[in-house]
A = this chain, B = another copy of it.
Amino acid sequence: MEKPLILITNDDGVAAPGIHFLAQWVREMGEVYVVAPTSARSGMSSAMTVNSPLRIVEREGYEFGRLFAVDGTPVDCVKLALHTILPRRPDILLSGINHGSNAGNSVIYSGTMGAVFEGAMAGIPSVGYSLLSHSMNADFNECRRYIERITKAVINKCLPADVALNVNFPAKVKIVGMKVCRAARSHWTEEYQQFTDPHGKPFYWLTGEQINEEPDATDTDLYWLGKNYASVVPVVADQTATNAIASLAQLL
């Protein structure tokens, strides 16, 4: 029997430490192809490159398997991997390990999770892994046993049809355990810092802080991450509000 084919991508780029830890930790479980952006593409969501061409460059010398850099978004990487690069359909797609949180409402902006939704829409079991630290020197070791456990379970087909996973790990702590939960309702405050350029004209830079709108709810990712647990949120690409169809058919 062929080994499982493992497609790995991210939004921090092929040089980010997180993707290399991930590739090394899962290499015993299958044949690894890394296909990731040439440079960091954070906050890219499910963006794709429509109006310019894309290049694929293989880089050699990685013991975990093959590595390809694409000068596009995470979704571009997944599309090109499936269309052009991979020798066959992958058995699993892993995205990450992201340097930074994708918990709460961050999932909708996340390029890491954009790649995961792309995999899910193609019918491939897909998982995003993220560590709650933006540092390039972050310590990922506490994540390892959870990543091995989840990846093995997903290769062994634990995921329902259309469902993917958004896994987040607390940083700089001993991880207590793992909770399957929902994304916390959250928003961002103070989203822009205003500057004035040398010519007296204003410009704006995105910043801000994520606020958990339901801090007392004990079934959310932000709650459990705050208790030093890894959070596992099952997600789907389809955003149809099925429950609202009948009432809106009356009101519109």
Contact = CB atoms under 8 A, between A and B. Distances in A.
A252 B49 contact: no
A180 interface: yes
Chain copies in the assembly? 2
Interface stretch (A21-29, A30-38, A101-109): A101-109
Interface in A46-101: 46-51, 53-56, 73, 75-76, 79-80, 83-84
A13 B237 CA distance: 26
B234 A158 contact: no
Interface majority SS on A: helix, strand, loop or mixed?
A: mixed
Nearest to A179: B249
A13 B239 CA distance: 25
Interface in A152-173: 153, 158-160, 162-163, 165
A178 interface: yes
Contact of A191 (B79, B108, B178): B79
Interface stretch (A1-9, A114-122, A135-143): A114-122
A19 interface: no
Contacts of A117: 108, 239
A163 B244 contact: yes
Contacts of A114: 45
Contact of A84 (B46, B162, B192, B235): B192
Contacts of A251: 153, 158
B42 A45 contact: no
A160 B109 contact: no
Top 7 A-B residue pairs of the complex, sorted by shortest distance between their CB atoms? A45-B46, A234-B244, A45-B45, A47-B47, A234-B241, A53-B203, A180-B249
Given A108-B239, A233-B240, 4 more contacts: A49-B206, A163-B248, A181-B245, A234-B248
